[in-house]
Structure 1
Amino acid sequence: MRDARTTLSFGALILQPRFRSFDLRPLALSAALALQLPAQAQAQPAAGADAAAAKPQAIEIPAQPAAQALQAFVKQLNFQLLYAPELLRGLNSKAVSGVMSPREALARLLEGSGLQIIDTGPNAATLRAAGGPAPGPRASAASAAAELGRGGDSAETPEPRRPAPVLAEAATRVHSFDLAAGDALETVQQAARLAGVSVSFKENELSGVRTNRISGEFTTLQAFQRLLADTRLAVGVQVATGEYVVRRLETIGRVEVTGSHLRSILGEQGVNPVTVLTRQEIERSGVTTLAELRNLIPQLSVGASASFDGNSSRGAPDGRLLFDLRGLGAGNTLILVDGMRLPKTGSRTVAEAYEATGIPMSAIERVEVLLGGGSAIYGADAVGGVVNIITRKRYSGTELEYARDNTVDRDAANDRLALSHAFRKGSFSARGMLSVEQQNALALRDREWLASDDRRPWGGADNTRNNAPIGGMVSAVSGQLPGIGASTAFIPAGANGSTATVKDFAGAAATERYDAAKYLNAINPYTRKVANLYADYQFAPWATLYASYNWSRNESEAPGDPVRLNTRIPAGYPGNPFGVPIMVDKYLWEQGTPARHYRYSQQSTTLGVRGDLPGDWRYHFSLADARSNPELPEGVYQFDGGKLTAAINSASKPVLLHDSLALQGTGKGPNAAGVLEALYFQDARQDQPRTRSTALALDGPIWQLPAGPVNLALGAEQRVESVKFFNSSTLSSGSEAAEPKQDRKVDAQYLEVAIPLLSTKSDLRLPFAHTLTVTGAVRRDHYNDFGAATKPQYGLLFKPTAWLALRASHNEAFRVPYLIDITRPRFVSNQSVPATGSSALIDTYRKNEAFVGVLPTTVGGNPNLKPETSTHRNIGLVFEAPWEAAKGFSLSVDRWQSEILDRVGSLTRQERLLYFPETYTRAPLSAADAAAGYTVGRINGVDNSSMNIAKFRSSGYDYALRFQRNTSWGEFILSSKITKTDRLESMATPAATPSPYVSARLRPTRSVSSLSWSYRGLGASVTMIRQAGFPVSLFPPVVDYPKTQQFNTNVWYDFGTGGLHDREGWLGHWLHNTRLSFGLINALDTAPPLSPTGNVNGSVDPRMLRYTFTLRKRF
């Protein structure tokens, strides 16, 4: 594999293309290289350097901090660069794009920087401050280091010295090397003798280091680079003398690697499959929201049950941005930001999960998704996998970004404005960001195929059939209405609620059933605000103190249904002329359609210290406090049954049997203001979950094997969770569960190890055995309310050749029920049960009698829930083409299997009756029922709280393909990611057969493919998101969603790269460091599958064809 690592040594930075990139920070050591050459050397580069430097190559590097730009330059052009890190502090590079020589590209990058480029060999150069002198021939190492620390500005200016002739000669002379892997103290000197050069080093830095085996014809520098690859040793050339210098690489800082606590090399293949979306890929796709970004990860479920816009729809205002890996549920997917847990949603009315609405796109560096359980690494909640959102850190200056995403036929725009600033001064650095986002509404009636809940034109049922007529109706409690000859009648037009006669009811005209789609939204409006702050101060290499604060607030609104009245009216009640009790079912249109609001705020504070320890160890200690606060200030606008019954039986009876439809829009009714409102549930809700955590992590090498160091990570964590409920009168007054009597306290300890058994450093050379590494991890979590759980993880990575990797892993995970899932207030709501479909109920204990009508349903917390446990296995391969003609091609294939025991979930009404009949309540057996041969009374209620399901199993394949090629026409990148589920089973009890209503057909094959091109600042991409057809449900009649294909396109132009920034005057000034992009989402205007149920298949959302526009300006 070709890769790049930034290696740091003795205050100089040597970029070597053969190593992988680390996010590292340099430290000056006591010795330094002489980094400057005299002016004469500029005119006399090393022999052969001109030919190499003149060979044009394709390059694409945006304007950015100079340190990042040079790393990209080295990686793209296979170039070696030597410089002092201090030279780059505070410098920004210019953008470079096109086909040119490496020397020309480097000159463009550093134009105006005041740095001088010194050619030192083919594809090699040194940077120095313009006009800076070279150290004198007698300069000591200490004085050179001091000079380096001053950026080359010394009090005394020694006479320049011409470079030793050996430098130019050594850059091109090839020697024969054949060195076995061995101790660096010996092999470094052997390599120097074979090359005929001198080398200096510190014995304590090389002691115990195992170098690689090398064999072949190389230049001296190439030989040292191969010998020291992946050893944390760096090589440099003392240009004043020609002497080679080897020093140990010293680093601080934490590299976020999803799926492991061990430090790693970015881009390196690991034991566990991790899919990554880089900032470049995100920008090229054209997506402008984190919710839309989920579509680019095929393993994330974005179906009818997932919110496609990260907000809410219809009458539910409490929208959230959740991640659901493989359809295992958002609560089983752990969400991290820079490796730290996000606050939980904490809402009592929805399933608990991690909330990601507070992360703007402008803050994201990359997104990494661990496709499997990770409890041995991260603890509970990582049953389905982990999504780690890595934020931007390495940037400087001020950046303004505006993004707009809007439909072409309606104003359903999403606008986002973000401002960020970062700076560094000496040992102190800080960054901050402010972002505001606003989403306009899209009404269901704006789309013909969503404008009605009558789904019969699309092969479904009339979902309005269980709604009341818009004009209202009455019905007999039993039998027929006296004088009507039928069991139902409509409320007469113009009825005042007191004087209507039986004749008036008999002659009343029918009105249509209420159709909620005419009043509700497909997308509800919202506003989101975000603020992030971070600062750190490096006291010493062993101590960097940091602090961060994150705050976000989401406010959304949903138009509601009109208030529905469905109750029993006694005989003799005003407006009831029948002389018997009746039922009334109507909408109180005079009350309007009250909107509901949702407010969600979250904040997290982290304090920590990190640094290096002796022996190449590092540590990280942190204290964190994360809080969220979901609020529903208006409640649910439903009648409290107890209050309503009391009012009906009181002396001051409310008017209920009037014609409300005639009063629609007037705001006036027969009842005095506040009379009916006083009978509603007082259900304004505010919950406050909080998580406080303390963590200590250490990692480093513990043993040196012939194949490399054994690396160990260990740590301890403590987490305290609490939740409070406010304004907690619920739908069933007085029936809520008690609030937690104590906080939940979790104590955890973990250990992880990686053991290299074979590598290029090992003396043992076997055919088809390039490298072999085994890994293992174990974590113990102890809960004060659930006891302890210990879960292991182990894996193997075998590379028979440098271009083929085979991997296998076994991960065990668990999830303790969330505190809110146990303690959530319980309430009863009246739910309508249809005659057919997945919500139907056949009472098998009463001769298969169909239950149709209103079923009182209890929902809320279940204190009897048990923890979930799971096992995830993966086996796969990664292939990277070694042939020159196919360079840039890679392919991975993974086979995965998951099994979850005691999964927390819910069952259909029919399955609940089959496996857990005790959750249903029944009326006493009447004499009539006994005479008819029934043995039990009619169902009159059900407890539908979450419960543990015995077993859930799934398996499938993941595929990923990528091909990147630089040509004279620009850079082309082709990629494709595919996931396919071939097994999906759910068993309610250990003895139960798999549910016939759960199968792999419910998990459609999804793929995301893209092709992008870029050249001299101009670029374009096309992305295809494909989803196979799948059934709405497996309840008969089974109706399938058809397959969908959505095409997104995007074009962009970087003015700083394309040449316009070279213009003089105000235009060039304002276009410098400016990037514009324009895209089309769903470019072919493909409509979502016409759902029989009215739900929207989230792979194509109802906004249909949309345009996106992004402007980013760096100052």
Structure 2
Amino acid sequence: MFKKNKISLMVSAACLLSPFANAQESTAPTADSATNVEKVQVTGSRIKRTDMEGPVPVAVITSADIAATGSINVSDILKTQPVTISTNNTSSTTFSTSSVGVNNTALRNLGESRTLVLVNGRRYVSGLSPSVGYAVDLNSIPAPMIERIEILKSASSAVYGSDAVAGVINIILKDDFEGVELNSQVGMSEEGDSERHLFNVTAGGAWDSGNAWVSAGFDNSQGIRASDREFSKNDIAVLLDENGEEYYGNVFSSYPPQGRVGGYNGDGTPFTYSSDPENSDGFNRGSYRQLVTPLERKYAAAGARYELSDAASLFTEVQWNSTSTKDSTIEPYPFDMNDIWIPDRGGVGGLDVNSPLLPELLRNNLINDGVTNLNQVPWVRRMVEFGARSTDLSRDTVRIAAGVDFEINDDWALDTYITWGRTQQSQENGGQINLERARYALDVVEGPNGELQCADDIARLQGCVPFDVFGAGTISDEAVNYLKVPAKTFGEVEQLVISAVLTGELPLELEGGYSGVAFGIEYRDEKGAYSPGDLAQTGASSTNQSSPTNGEFDTLDVFAELSLPLLETLTLDLAARYSDHSIVDGQFTWNVGVEYRPMETLMLRASAATAVRTPNISDLFGGRGETFAVVADPCNGVTASDTSVVAQNCLSIAGVMQRVEENGSFTLSQVEAQSAGGTIGGNINVTEETSDSWSLGLVYEITDNFSVTMDYYNFEIDDAIDTTSRSVVLQRCFNQSPDTFDASCGGAALRNAGGVLTEVHSGTSNENILKTSGIDLELDYTQDLSFGTLKAGLIWNHISKYEQIGIFDGSVLDYKGEASNPEHRAAINLDLSTGDVAYSWRMRYWHDVVDSTEGENFNFSSFGGLEKHNNISAQIYHDVSSSIMVSDHMEVRVGVNNVFDKQPPLLGQGTKHGGTGINTYSAAYDVVGRYYYAGVSYTF
């Protein structure tokens, strides 16, 4: 009922406003037609104005800029901008299940959910599974369809609503096209892989009362195997040599294909671990992994505008995109065999040492060690016979927008629209095992002819055969067929927006002119659902156990903007919005901007704003799921002589103290350091986060062909919604006074009898404050030469602060200078056009950084924090391209990215920013290497 009332109110408001469309006169004075200047709407305000520059900073990427990069994906384009970062991409998500292949972006590195992505100034539906987050998947907006991208580098919730905390990315599509244009592009890395193909056709036409266009195409990237690059072909981590010096070496998995039972291989021989592949019984996971996920996209879009009358026009937009990943693989499943009986840790069961499955050598060795049941020792195996864990995934996004724009008179207009979007995600994961059947297949007896068979009669009738896991290649094809299980999941996100905005000029004339104003009302409904499959929900398969997600909320917003030209040189902009959210109730946000022009060539500007991000479906309703991301135990390395607060708390734990007494310190083995499981998920009690931000800047045209833009920005986000790192959960817990310390961290941490972490849980909460500030600088230079025109541009960002503060304990984590927050990022562009030929050179700079400023990493020898290999040197990438107009209808483009084949810095296991399986940080560093491309455009 509440939702219906909101929709009724929305429609009623639009109806109340619409009669103004019939008005023939305005109460405001009308300027002489000879002095009328075209007004445009610039991202950051709904008020149309004559000046492209306003009180808030906006950067523009044109279609020509996009073409010069050779990028076929919006994510790759935005990655070159110093103010944006690629939070998820086709490298960083290779080890993911539900997010594989996704491309997201974020402003100021404040998270993709705090960056509002618009298409043609209107909201766009999320492309993420509702179980893991909320963000637009940039795969669904192909680059050939883009006219330009406007980046609003300031909070703007008062103008655009929730989520515009860090700023707004407004993607403007081509919508006024006449004729036919064909685009084709091919590319390949110097290594002969990462092949990419693109084909697109766009056609459009206009007539007296309107225009229409349609665009369709496909592109694909074949991806890269991790084994095809030297830096990613092996699992690596920082080790210590005999002198205690750090070096990068191979780290093989202790879950081998032949199985490991205690200190023995599955056949009973001693298990030997070494970083030398020739002398190690460990397993190289890199041989199965993807460095870049293969991705295929098909898309179509269409739009039309039709003049209903002299005062009204109808527009429609339709976008469809289908993205799929095929044969995206990671290593076969690492199976803890005891989980067949003990899925909840601490139950009873296990395989008796006298089982006929055990080889005689293994049985004798275990009995000599006092082992009577395999649940007394680690019993693990890599299930290579079941094949790689594969992810075949498809995402289909449909978005429809339609509306009527009314020109009430020369000064007033009413824009109304409705948008609906839906993303459906379906996937099938291979390489999984049915745990219930595995229990029957391990319970074997000797048959009538001396052969082994399943003990349970009914299980045999259902196809049960012995599950022989003791040795390499011992699992039969029949056992694989009996035990393998498909892991199918399905997710859906849906969005509905209805909006009406009245814009115009007030009849009040100030010294600088008439005041611009905008009033609006907007209704938005969001819903999402995710089903991980029956066996995954019950924990009956070897995949991570997870719960379903299902939720919905809606908001009703009213907002207003006012632009006051107080003087010819001074303008004051005001905006306010009230949002009524069905879960977290109401929020009020505002913007204030000042624009001062002391001279024609200089503009000074300042802005301040409150912004809000209300919790999304994932934050509120995300089902809890298992995670095994590396956790840094603050007790690792503690000795009896340590007197710190953390050490005192650690030593109060019986298992930790016992190991310290026995060994002199609480030092974890590699397996122990990697074995802390746990869960993360949503929280219905999460409330909105709020942001206070301000900026000061200037735009100075030094000469007719040289301009400078500089802005200082400052953001503070209170009650920040986030899934706090499980390592941070532990840090905050163990930094408390021993008088109030809780060894279970409020139920978030579980240790075994030996003091080793087995589970650490986290979830969505409002427990952080985020602070960041810095400077943006842009230089633009144009020079006409005797043989052409030279354009040069510099974009530079400096981070002066990036802090995460714990609300409850006041702890301050300073992340400035980490790999994701370099103090300096820059891009330099040089373009030279000489008639029909154009040349371009682009440079991207990422300052020297550290992997972690707060010790959230470790080496794999002593498990102490990284020192030498915590430091990462500055990286510079160079791209060149050229285009030539072969004829009036044909343009040919060629280019080379990463001209000097710059290899990425190593960030292996145990690092904070190293991506699983890729051994670097792909949001910052190129993983492809030197890359060649060529394309052609033909119009007629």
Matched, 1:973 2:791: yes
Tell me the residue number matched to 2:398: 603
Matched AA of 1:1043: A
Tell me the residue number matched to 2:873: 1042
The equivalent position to 1:565 in structure 2, one of 324, 328, 335, is: 335
Q: Is the 8 A contact 1:369 1:385 kept in 2?
A: yes
Structure-1 separation of matches of 2:271 and 2:197? 55
Q: Is the 8 A contact 1:561 1:594 kept in 2?
A: yes
Matched, 1:909 2:720: no
- Relative to structure 1, the CA distance from residue 701 to residue 964 in structure 2 (aligned partners, 3 Å threshold; closer, same or farther) is same
Q: Deviations over 1:1011-1051 (max 9, x none)?
A: 11112111111111011011112322241221111111111
The equivalent position to 2:598 in structure 1, one of 781, 785, 800, is: 800
Tell me the residue number matched to 2:141: 359
Structure-2 separation of matches of 1:839 and 1:974? 53
Q: Could you say which structure has the larger radius of gyration?
A: 1
Q: Is the 8 A contact 2:252 2:285 kept in 1?
A: no
Structure-2 separation of matches of 1:938 and 1:967? 70
Alignment of 1:299-338 (within 5 A): 299-302=83-86, 306-307=88-89, 312=94, 318-338=100-120
Structure-1 separation of matches of 2:271 and 2:321? 58
Tell me the residue number matched to 2:129: 347
Q: Aligned-pair distance for 1:725?
A: 2.8
Tell me the residue number matched to 1:633: 428
Alignment of 1:597-676 (within 5 A): 597-614=392-409, 616-634=411-429, 637-639=431-433, 644-645=438-439, 648=442, 651-652=455-456, 655-659=466-470, 661-662=472-473, 669=476, 671-676=478-483
Tell me the residue number matched to 2:608: 810
Structure-1 separation of matches of 2:677 and 2:465? 25
Matched AA of 1:562: P
Alignment of 1:914-929 (within 5 A): 914-915=731-732, 917-922=745-750
The equivalent position to 1:696 in structure 2, one of 481, 491, 500, is: 500
Q: Is the 8 A contact 2:91 2:922 kept in 1?
A: no
The equivalent position to 1:471 in structure 2, one of 258, 268, 273, is: 258
- Relative to structure 1, the CA distance from residue 951 to residue 297 in structure 2 (aligned partners, 3 Å threshold; closer, same or farther) is same
Matched, 1:581 2:400: no
Q: Aligned-pair distance for 1:833?
A: 5.2
Q: Aligned-pair distance for 1:1010?
A: 0.9
Tell me the residue number matched to 1:1101: 926
Matched, 1:262 2:47: yes
- Relative to structure 1, the CA distance from residue 826 to residue 507 in structure 2 (aligned partners, 3 Å threshold; closer, same or farther) is closer
Structure-2 separation of matches of 1:514 and 1:922? 28
Structure-1 separation of matches of 2:91 and 2:333? 27
Matched, 1:399 2:181: yes
Matched, 1:522 2:291: yes
Matched, 1:1024 2:808: no
> Partner of 2:77: helix, strand, or coil?
helix
Q: Is the 8 A contact 2:333 2:388 kept in 1?
A: yes
Tell me the residue number matched to 1:145: none
Matched AA of 1:622: Y
Matched, 1:709 2:504: no
Q: Is the 8 A contact 2:73 2:138 kept in 1?
A: no
Alignment of 1:1030-1109 (within 5 A): 1030-1034=849-853, 1035=855, 1036-1038=865-867, 1039-1055=870-886, 1071-1092=887-908, 1093=914, 1094-1109=919-934
CA RMSD of aligned residues (A): 3.2
Q: What TM-score results when the alignment is normalised by the length of structure 1?
A: 0.68
- Relative to structure 1, the CA distance from residue 596 to residue 1109 in structure 2 (aligned partners, 3 Å threshold; closer, same or farther) is same
Structure with greater contact order relative to length (CA < 8 Å, sep ≥ 6) = 2
- Relative to structure 1, the CA distance from residue 908 to residue 315 in structure 2 (aligned partners, 3 Å threshold; closer, same or farther) is closer
Matched, 1:747 2:556: yes
Tell me the residue number matched to 1:542: 311
- Relative to structure 1, the CA distance from residue 359 to residue 738 in structure 2 (aligned partners, 3 Å threshold; closer, same or farther) is closer
Runs (5+) with no aligned partner, structure 2: 1-24, 241-245, 339-349, 444-453, 457-463, 540-544, 639-645, 658-665, 734-744, 856-864, 909-913
Tell me the residue number matched to 2:64: 280
> Partner of 1:357: helix, strand, or coil?
helix
> Partner of 2:876: helix, strand, or coil?
strand
Q: Deviations over 1:582-628 (max 9, x none)?
A: 23211122222242111111001112100201351011111111100
Matched AA of 1:1048: D
Q: What TM-score results when the alignment is normalised by the length of structure 2?
A: 0.80
Q: Is the 8 A contact 1:1044 1:1099 kept in 2?
A: no
- Relative to structure 1, the CA distance from residue 437 to residue 837 in structure 2 (aligned partners, 3 Å threshold; closer, same or farther) is farther
Structure-2 separation of matches of 1:1011 and 1:507? 56
Q: What fraction of aligned residue pairs are identical, expressed as a percent?
A: 20
Tell me the residue number matched to 1:16: none
Q: Aligned-pair distance for 1:739?
A: 4.9
Tell me the residue number matched to 1:864: 685
- Relative to structure 1, the CA distance from residue 1077 to residue 839 in structure 2 (aligned partners, 3 Å threshold; closer, same or farther) is farther
Q: Is the 8 A contact 2:767 2:807 kept in 1?
A: yes
Matched AA of 1:826: R
Structure-2 separation of matches of 1:737 and 1:474? 31
Tell me the residue number matched to 1:382: 164
> Partner of 2:191: helix, strand, or coil?
coil
Tell me the residue number matched to 1:411: 193
Q: Aligned-pair distance for 1:850?
A: 5.5
Q: Is the 8 A contact 2:272 2:281 kept in 1?
A: no
Runs (5+) with no aligned partner, structure 1: 1-203, 210-230, 236-245, 476-487, 493-501, 760-770, 930-936, 1056-1070
- Relative to structure 1, the CA distance from residue 490 to residue 997 in structure 2 (aligned partners, 3 Å threshold; closer, same or farther) is farther
Structure-2 separation of matches of 1:685 and 1:725? 7
Q: Deviations over 1:104-136 (max 9, x none)?
A: xxxxxxxxxxxxxxxxxxxxxxxxxxxxxxxxx
Report which of the two has the higher share of strand.
2
Alignment: residue pair count: 803
- Relative to structure 1, the CA distance from residue 363 to residue 460 in structure 2 (aligned partners, 3 Å threshold; closer, same or farther) is farther
Q: Aligned-pair distance for 1:633?
A: 2.1
- Relative to structure 1, the CA distance from residue 543 to residue 309 in structure 2 (aligned partners, 3 Å threshold; closer, same or farther) is farther
Tell me the residue number matched to 1:686: 490
Deviates more, 1:422-431 or 1:310-319: 310-319
Q: Aligned-pair distance for 1:288?
A: 3.9
Structure-2 separation of matches of 1:326 and 1:857? 30
Q: Is the 8 A contact 2:46 2:159 kept in 1?
A: yes
Q: Aligned-pair distance for 1:275?
A: 1.0
Matched AA of 1:1031: V
- Relative to structure 1, the CA distance from residue 323 to residue 1008 in structure 2 (aligned partners, 3 Å threshold; closer, same or farther) is same
Q: Aligned-pair distance for 1:545?
A: 1.1
Q: Deviations over 1:691-731 (max 9, x none)?
A: 11110011000122231010001100001111223454364
Structure-1 separation of matches of 2:920 and 2:724? 20
Q: Is the 8 A contact 1:337 1:388 kept in 2?
A: yes
Q: Aligned-pair distance for 1:255?
A: 4.3
> Partner of 1:258: helix, strand, or coil?
coil
> Partner of 1:324: helix, strand, or coil?
strand
> Partner of 1:282: helix, strand, or coil?
helix
Q: Is the 8 A contact 1:401 1:418 kept in 2?
A: yes
Matched AA of 1:750: F
Alignment of 1:154-165 (within 5 A): none
> Partner of 2:105: helix, strand, or coil?
coil
Tell me the residue number matched to 2:461: none
Structure-1 separation of matches of 2:228 and 2:637? 28
Q: Aligned-pair distance for 1:372?
A: 1.9
Alignment of 1:134-533 (within 5 A): 208=29, 233-235=32-34, 255-265=40-50, 268-302=52-86, 306-307=88-89, 312=94, 318-348=100-130, 350-456=132-238, 464-475=251-262, 488-492=263-267, 511-533=280-302
- Relative to structure 1, the CA distance from residue 834 to residue 805 in structure 2 (aligned partners, 3 Å threshold; closer, same or farther) is closer
Matched, 1:552 2:383: no
Q: Aligned-pair distance for 1:414?
A: 1.2
